[in-house]
Structures are given as C-alpha cells and as structure tokens.
Amino acid sequence: MNRRKFVAATALAAAAQAADAPVRATPLKAGYWGPQFYDEKERAELLDVLDSRSPFRWYGPQPPTKVLQFEKEFAAHMASKYALGVTSGTAALQCAMAAFEIGPGDEVILPAWTWHSCFNAVVLAGALPVCAEIDETFNIDPSSVERLITPQTKLIMAVHLQGNPCHLDRILAIAKKHKLRVLEDCAQSVGASYKGRPVGSYGDIGIYSLQMNKSITAGEGGALVTNDPTLFERAARFQDLGGFRAPHAEAIGGAHLGWTFGANYRMSEFTGGVLLAQLRKLDRICQAVRHNAKQVYEGIRDLPNVKFRDLPDPVGELGSGVFLDFRTKERADKFLAAMKAENVLASKPGGSVILPTLPHIMAKKSLHPNWPSFQSARGKSIRYAPDTCPRTIDILQRYAGVLMDPKFTPTDTADIIKAIRKVHPTV
Ligand SMILES: *Cc1c(COP(=O)(O)O)cnc(C)c1O
C-alpha cells in the first residue's frame, strides 16, 4: 500500500468509526427532579424547624408554621380553596376515600394502568376497584369508563400519568351525567395544567404525591385539595384520628362534623419546611422540563411516520417524557436497544403497573379472607386478568420514549434528538 492509499484508508476507517460511535460517550439518563434544586432555601427551612425545637405541626415550644404555610401556598398554587398536607400520596388517596365516604358495596372506576396506591386505597376502604382501559394518553379511557358504570359506582379516579392530563372534560361530563364523584390523582403531574388551570382543581378532590420520583419532594409527602368544605373536613379528620384543629376549622368557617374515626397521616414540620421551599421552585422546575421536552418534540417531529403519545393539553402537560408509537412491541424494543447503544437511555411507559396482571390482584388478596371488597355479588364475580385489559397492554408495549430532566443542558437535548434521528430509520 502506498502512502496516499494508506492515508485514504485510515481516513475512511476513522469516518466509519465516527458514524458507528455512540452519540454519547457516557450514558444520559433523567434524574430525580426536586432534589437537584435543593439549596440554601431548603436548608434554611430545615434549620428553622431544628432551631425552634417544634417539629410537630400543631404545637411545641415555638408556634409551628411550616405545614400550615405550605398548605396555604399549595392551595393557592393549585387554584383550590383548601389544601391538606399529609405523609404521602397514598395517604392522601385514603383521606379522599374517607372524605367521599367510600365503603363496602361501593365501586370505584380506575385505570388498569396506574400505581398500586390507587387500587389499594379502594380495597382498604372496603370498596370494589373496577379497572378501565387506557387510551393513547396512557390515561383512563373515557369510553371504557362509561361501559363500567353500575348503580353501585360512586367515584371515578382520573389519574394523570407521567405528566400528561387525561381527557378530563369527557370524564367530568360522564361523572355529571351519572352523578358520580371525580378524584383527580395528580401524583405524577404535580405542576401540570389542563386548559389553563392546574390539574387537581377540576375534580371534587385532587391528590398529589411529593415522594422523590415526583416533581417536588421531601423524600415522602402528599397533599389533597378541594373546594368543598365538607370534603375537606372529612379528609382532615381522617388524617388526624378523627379530630379537627382550630386553624383548619377557621379556614372553612367553623367545624360542621363531630369527632369521628381516623388514622394518623399528619405531615411533620421538617417535611412542611422542605416542601415549602420546593413549592416555591415548582414553576421553575416545570418550565425547565417543558422547555427540554419541547426541544425534543420539535427536533424529531418531521421524522417519517412519527406519532407521539396523545396530549389532551400540549401546553399544560409537564413533558416528563417524549413517547413515540412504534406500532409493534418488537419495534419499540428494537428502539430501546438501539438508543442504549447510543448511550441515550430510552424507556417504555413507566412508574405504574398493569393492575389486572399482578398475581396478588388476580388472586384478590386483601387483609382478610372476608374483606368486604370481594364479598358483594359483583366482588365475587369480578375478574382481574390480562384478558380484561388487552388495549392497555397493547398500548404500553408499542410505545417507548425518553424521560426528561429539568437540568438537561442544550447539549443533552441535542444528543437526544441526534440519537432518535439516528436510530429511528433502523427500527
Ligand atoms: C406515586 C403515586 C401515588 C402514591 O404516592 P406516594 O407518595 O408514593 O404514596 C399515587 N398515585 C400515583 C399515580 C402515583 O404515581
């Protein structure tokens, strides 16, 4: 080989290698949003509580302020009259069940694809969970809901998953027509809005999770909002052993109910303080995630045959992930593998489970063999099995996408676009 040929051959090899080189040298992966924004604000809130020696929300050597202030600002932020801080989103769901007086004999319609907490809250209340199919928003399909309504149905759980509001207008219309309550589960969409108003402000009650995987966090935490003073009083009583404290009574213009039955899901001042600092950053966090998602949407929109997850409100959704329909499970899986090779991590829809496919749910496990949920005629006859939600399973198999992070840099989003554009023609 002469010198000129050698130089040409090595240049070609280098070019080939560059084309084959992964888009990223090291893996790019979305992180936990809230904790990346921890700074002197959260630190100061925590130190306030430590120095005051008043870690309990209702009394102590100094008048506690954090949880009450968090509730006040959370209600305002979520465009609702009343907010209640509790220990988790799961606890908030149980408070909602108590507020709605859901119990044995009642049926609650929820999506087949959601988090364990939704199903468990219904069963813990002694009521029967009835699973609806999802649509291509990954959320509860309103037409599936309508088919499942019986005279025992009391509540629809409108869950807004992975930052994306469900078809709320249609759910609200169905609920109105059949005189049903609506619970919005906004655990995965804290900060999202629907038609100009925060999610959670449309239903009879909205619940939020403030656990680490959600928009803002103190590690654990949850909240509930409502405009209905009676629902608020029942929820507040349930999380405080049946009692109702003066500041909450004042907020609704005086207590209307007496002591009742309840658990203890009270939020601590440490949690309240951290969440107060985080809440004041929520808009900033959501803006950053939305901005990053928008870059990716715009950067790949022109790809042939591209079809995104349905977004009932593209402006209000959080942009937690950009998901594409690959039409088959095989192609979606091929996309995941190809993206991994580019060091840009992609994933299937996540953060939820397909309830009717879980062995313990198929077996109708609860706390006791005579648990009321499954004792009614319908409770005995209802089946939880994969063949009860074929559409849900199909949709979740053929979609895949990239999760977003508020701290992604312009280089990060450019690399995501580069990777998707590179692998898309190959899958
Ligand atoms: C996380 C989550 C919950 C429960 O919240 P926790 O704070 O973890 O108890 C409820 N519903 C949905 C949809 C969730 O994603």
Q: Which domains does the chain have, with CATH numbers?
A: 40-281 (3.40.640.10)
Amino acid in position 332: A
Find the 86 Cα to ligand 1 centroid distance in Å: 12
Model pLDDT, residue 9:
55
Q: What is the CA(144)–ligand 1 centre distance, in A?
A: 23
Query: How confident is the chain (427 residues) per 10-residue block, as mean pLDDT?
Result: 58 55 96 98 98 98 98 98 98 98 98 98 98 98 97 98 98 98 98 98 98 98 98 98 98 97 98 98 98 98 97 98 98 98 98 98 96 94 98 98 98 98 95
Interatomic CA distance for residues 4 and 19, integer angstroms: 23
Q: Rounded distance, CA 123 to CA 117, Å?
A: 10
Q: Give yes or no for residue 159 CB within 6 A of ligand 1.
A: yes
- Distance, CA of 269 to CA of 420 (rounded, Å): 45
Query: How far is the C-alpha of 133 from the C-alpha of 224, rounded, in Å?
Result: 25
Residue pair 127/97 in contact by the 8 Å Cβ criterion: yes
Helix (H, G, I), strand (E, B) or coil at 237: helix
The closest-lying atom of ligand 1 relative to the alpha carbon of residue 209 is 7
Q: Is the CB of 87 under 6 A from ligand 1?
A: no
Q: What is the pLDDT of residue 20?
A: 81
pTM higher than the cut 0.85: yes
Q: What are phi and psi of 146, to 5 degrees?
A: -60, -35
Q: How far apart are CA 253 and CA 314, in angstroms?
A: 38
Whether the CB of 187 sits within 6 Å of ligand 1: yes
How remote is the CA of residue 159 from the centroid of ligand 1, in Å? 10
Which three-class secondary structure state does DSSP give residue 130? strand
CB 58 within 8 A of CB 203: no
Give distance in angstroms: CA of 90 to centre of ligand 1.
Answer: 6
Substitution candidate for ligand 1 out of 87, 90, 164 with most atoms within 8 A of CB: 90
Q: What is the Cα–Cα distance from 202 to 223, expressed in whole angstroms?
A: 15
Beta carbon of 88 within 6 Å of any ligand 1 atom = yes
Say what the pLDDT of residue 104 is: 97
